[in-house]
Amino acid sequence: MGRQPCCDKVGLKKGPWTAEEDQKLVAFLLTHGHCCWRVVPKLAGLLRCGKSCRLRWTNYLRPDLKRGLLSDDEERLVIDLHAQLGNRWSKIAARLPGRTDNEIKNHWNTHIKKKLRKMGIDPVTHQPLEPPRPPPREQDATPPPPPPPPQEIEESEEEEQEPSPLIEPHEITAPPPAAAAEAATSNCSVSPASVLSPSCSSSASAASAVDVAEWPEPMYMFGMDGIMDVGWNGLISGAGVDVDVDVDPFDHYYHDASFDDQDVWII
DNA sequence: AAGTTCGTCAACCGCCGATAC
DNA sequence: AGTATCGGCGGTTGACGAACT
């Protein structure tokens, strides 16, 4: 037998996320991290499938996300990378810290495509657009050779050269503060240890819940008034985690934040 | 003011490779 | 070794607001 199914898909909620759902998910992930997304909604008290939770987190709730339009530099980089990689949005996003593949994909489809066409550049091939021609006659119907495919980057080489992004989605695993873990056990039947990511090291347990809450990002990271109305204390305590947060966790951006050798978020 | 079209983007869908059993 | 699921990816959809008629 294989693994258990990701979700029953019965009675699960779909559609836009509410502020309350966001609170639950953020609070859970901040205190527990995640090991497998399948159990996250259950333990967080959400009627969503794990996939939906992962998407919401990686595309919208992650603390390292930049929001807002891409800068000119970022846009140029996206165009360059697209010329090399094609529609491999996740690869492109990996080169733009704080940006998601979904965001870049949307921006490409809504903004950059048009811009390139206006400039007379084919957004697919990155070659100059050919002026409209009359339909070819029968005898010279042989089409011209297709433009060369987007220049591929050697995977291995790419891995070597690729500057490590600020943070990788799969690396976001909040360390397990002991107090939060205790609080959580009162609400869920699975021990916190069982939901911790394998990438969570024991060294992270020294971090307090406040440390975890002090994840960097401006206030707009949530993009939702609900959480802002609730406030950070409300956000955490709303999920049953008894933590007093004096500072605004989104008021600081730790540009030099990174991970230790065990993939634990360090500031 | 009402109706229609357009633009944007969050979220879903389905596929695929990796991997647990 | 075979099967089923997970996690991730790219494509697509649909809701919503803005702009236009």
Is there a shared CATH topology between the A17-59 domain and the A70-126 domain?
A: yes
Report the alpha-carbon distance of residue A35 to residue A44 in Å, rounded.
13
- Condensed to tens digits (0 to 9), the pLDDT of residues A14-64 reads 888 998 899 889 888 888 877 788 888 888 888 888 889 988 998 888 888
Residue A133's pLDDT is what?
A: 56
Those nucleotides of strand C lying less than 7 Å from any protein Cβ are 2-12, 15-16
Closest nucleotide to A113: CA versus each C1': B7
Closest amino acid to nucleotide C13 (CA–C1'): A15
Which class for A130: exposed (0-12), middle (13-18), buried (19 or more C-beta within 10 A)? Answer: exposed
Does A17-59 carry CATH code 2.40.50?
no
Domain ranges of chain A: 17-59, 70-126
Distances in Å between the alpha carbon of A135 and those of A129, A140, A142?
16, 10, 12
Distances in Å between the alpha carbon of A66 and those of A55, A231, A247, A254?
16, 20, 21, 13
Strand runs labelled E in A178-245: none
- Provide CATH code, domain A70-126: 1.10.10.60
Distance A34 CA to B9 C1' (A): 26
Which class for A19: exposed (0-12), middle (13-18), buried (19 or more C-beta within 10 A)? Answer: middle
Closest nucleotide to A88: CA versus each C1': C10
Report the alpha-carbon distance of residue A49 to residue A37 in Å, rounded.
8
pTM exceeds 0.75, yes or no? no
Residue A189's pLDDT is what?
A: 36
Closest nucleotide to A51: CA versus each C1': C7
User: Two tokens at A101?
Assistant: 């593949």
Give per-10-residue mean pLDDT for chain A (267 aa): 46 86 88 81 88 89 82 88 88 89 89 85 80 49 44 41 38 38 36 36 34 39 39 45 37 35 36
User: Two tokens at A69?
Assistant: 């339009």
Residue A183's pLDDT is what?
A: 35
